[in-house]
Amino acid sequence: MSDENAFAVLRETGRIWAVGSIHGEADRLRALHQELTRFLQPDDRVVYLGNYLGYGPDIVGTVDELLSFRRAFLARPPYSDINDFVLLRGSQEEMWQRMLQLQFAVDPIEVMTWMAERGLPATLQAYAGDDGTGIFGHRSGPLTISKWTGSVRDAMQAAPGHFALMSALKRAAYTADERLLFVNTGVDVERPVTEQSDVFWWAGRSFAVINDRYGKYAKIIRGFDPDHGGYAETEFTMTVDGSCGFDGTLLAVCIEHDGTVVDRLEA
């Protein structure tokens, strides 16, 4: 992904619905979408805050539902702009991309073990019918691993639209006037947004110590809390995560341009 396409810029007008981590809970996503359809206004936008994959029982169904709802959303009269429907890359999607390039890792087994502890096996099982343990039961070489990751890639490409969706995810989103910032898990407040990448997925626990305005942003909204603390809001931050995929619920909040929450849905 080129840098100019890595970030989504949202129009300054209208409300924004922010959807928290889904983690393969397709039934909850369908239920949320049914409710959301009733509340959507013509100028509303939707930002999904990442983590569509991993952990849950129906990962393929989750991506299918995202694709289906995207089509319906963009077809609403008077027809929405494609940039009004934003999907962020979450830590699960970042791991998935790293797994597809595993043959280039210095220690593939160590990398795979680390990702296996963080939800990756459920995604592998969903697409390839294999959680990955077999090939790493012994020291496979780069060629063997490359053939295996190629087969996994082919399995995802067999699901219409899935691979294209994963390739189009944004690192972060912000309003054109930089009043609202949307991320997956965390942000480094010492660096400009456009100079960041990995921190969006792995700096989750530093989010709680943000106690001042970050640049011009009045509010930073994230969709995943690694400590599963539930919905939380401070003067400068908001966590939209009901622990979906961890015996919790799927959350979505409707945010005005100034950062005020005006509605909340739960499934």
- Express each pLDDT in 25-73 by its tens digit: 999 999 999 999 999 998 999 999 999 999 999 999 999 999 999 999 9
* Of 23, 16, 24, 29, the residue nearest 267 (C-alpha): 29
- Model confidence at 78: pLDDT above 90: no
- 59: closest CA among 149, 146, 129? 129
Residue 2 pLDDT > 50: no
Cα distances (Å, whole numbers) of residue 183 to 52, 150, 170, 180, 254: 14, 30, 9, 10, 16
With a cut of 70, say whether residue 136 has pLDDT above it. no
Asked if residue 72 and residue 55 are part of one domain, the reply reads yes
Q: What is the pTM of this model?
A: 0.95
Same domain as 260, residue 215: yes
Q: Does residue 164 sit within a domain?
A: no
Helices in 13-105 by DSSP H: which ranges? Answer: 26-39, 59-74, 91-99
End position of a domain, from candidates 114, 129, 157:
157
Q: How confident is the model at residue 22 (pLDDT cuts 50, 70, 90)?
A: very high
* pLDDT tier, 138 (very low <50, low <70, confident <90, very high otherwise): low
Same domain, residue pair 128 and 78: no
210 and 103 share one domain: no
The CATH number for 43's domain is 3.60.21.10
Q: At what angle do helices 120-128 and 91-99 cross, to 10 degrees?
A: 60
Same-domain pairing of 186 and 261: yes
Q: Is residue 163 part of a domain?
A: no
**Does the pLDDT of residue 3 top 70, yes or no?**
no
Q: Which domain holds residue 187?
A: 3-90+169-266
Q: What is the mean pLDDT of residues 200-229?
A: 95
Q: Based on the fold, state whether residues 71 and 185 are members of the same structural domain.
A: yes
Q: Are residues 7 and 54 in the same domain?
A: yes
Portion of the chain with pLDDT greater than 90, in percent: 77
Q: Are 229 and 257 in the same domain?
A: yes
What would the mean pLDDT of 161-178 be, rounded to a whole number? 95
Q: How many distinct structural domains can be found in the chain?
A: 2
Gap between the Cα atoms of 96 and 218, Å rounded: 32
